[in-house]
Chains A and B, each alone.
Chain A
Amino acid sequence: MAASVGIGAEYPHDELWDALRAVPDPEMAISIVDMGLVVKAERADTTCTVTLTYTAMGCPAMEMIEEDVRAALLALPGIGEVVIETVWQPVWTKGRLSAEGRDALMLQGVAL
């Protein structure tokens, strides 16, 4: 897993992670990958398993994000099923933002 402390995390580039980069965070104008919500993404044959965390346990956008994740991955060739798991460890902190995500948020006037 990518580092997640201080200067911005780095996340992998493969077909799954790049597809997830197209899923926007509903509240911040960056992707859920840059937001640090994706903990793990794996493919086994036609099934894709994605592990997500959220900025808050009471996040009202969880279902919306899961729907978008499912749609983005099912659009990939050969994917027939998407399993989404939620974890609360690692705990989301600003350290999980990617470097690109931090830059984008700061340009939007978000204090970090």
Chain B
Amino acid sequence: MRPESGETTMSETIEATPTKATYALMARLADNKFFLGRRYAEWCSSAPTLESSVAAAAMAQDELGHARAIYPVLKTLVPDAGTETDPETRTAFTAFSCLDAPFGGWEDFVAANVLIDNALTLVFESGKDSRFEPLAGRSRKVLQEERMHAQHGDGWVRRMAREGGAAREAMQAALLRMWDEVLCWFGPSGANDPLKTAGVLDASPDELRARFLMIVGPTLSTVGLKLPLRRAGDRWESTEPLPWDRWDAASYRLAPAKPGSAKRRRKE
């Protein structure tokens, strides 16, 4: 049972969890929060409306704050990780490839808001009762702050889709560019997931993927955006196999599709 005040009992919890997998999880959460915050911040004064510029600023501040709260945990997991536990000196970032460069347009912002932000939040939801107290202790606050992000993404993807024409096409293309990597990001399928087994998360990668599709599927389907997913009874599922041949388990991202491949043509 966690202390009511939120005080950490790190020595107990770290010994009870697979440190390497937990470090990797916390690192990719921190890195993605850090880069998502930077990408959001670039739209603080140039979003389509004044309100969304203000929202971009608020969301950027939230994401950077979340990253700032997570990076120190890395030091407690691997004390000799040195400069890799500080975003200012870190070199081995594990963030989504679509966050490497500034967004090409507002549709990329919205796609990241809907897909990446929701995916990250889903992992915090999965960790809110984690046996790894530093994750549990931060998750509830993150979830509190992320509610507005989810509303913002949902509202804008509906608006872009209903706009029709070029806006709708750009929105769909942006979602497709990120789709495979986000679905793969929860991790490969397979039994004995160390994070679930150790109680760090309450779900396996496949279960997280299923939850994610349950979150984004209804909205994307309702507005008629064509993504490779379908409703199957009370669940949502991907209609195409994920490109695990391009998956890099170390960086937790996909290598670019080869020129001329079917997937690449679909997204161009």
Contacts and interface: CB of A to CB of B under 8 A. Distances in A.
Are A and B genuine complex partners?
yes
Interface of A: 1, 39-40, 51, 53, 56-60, 85-93
A57 B145 contact: yes
25 contacts: A1-B4, A39-B5, A40-B5, A56-B145, A57-B66, A57-B138, A57-B141, A57-B142, A58-B61, A58-B63, A58-B64, A58-B66, A60-B61, A85-B7, A86-B69, A87-B5, A87-B7, A88-B69, A89-B138, A89-B141, A90-B4, A91-B140, A91-B141, A91-B144, A93-B144
Interface in B32-69: 61-66, 68-69
Contacts of A93: 144
B203 to A, nearest CB: 21
A57 B6 contact: no
Nearest to B133: A89
B6 A90 contact: yes
Given A40-B5, A88-B141, 14 more contacts: A39-B6, A51-B5, A56-B62, A57-B66, A58-B61, A85-B7, A88-B69, A88-B138, A88-B140, A89-B136, A89-B140, A90-B4, A90-B5, A91-B141
A60 B57 CA distance: 13
B65 A59 contact: yes
B6 A87 contact: yes
Contacts of A39: 5-6
B217 interface: no
Of B6, B62, B66, B145, the most chain A CB neighbours within 10 A belong to B6
A93 B140 CA distance: 12
A87 B69 CA distance: 9
Nearest to A59: B65
Interface in B135-189: 136-138, 140-142, 144-145
A57 B69 contact: yes
Given A57-B69, A57-B145, A58-B66, A87 B61 contact: no
A53 B137 CA distance: 12
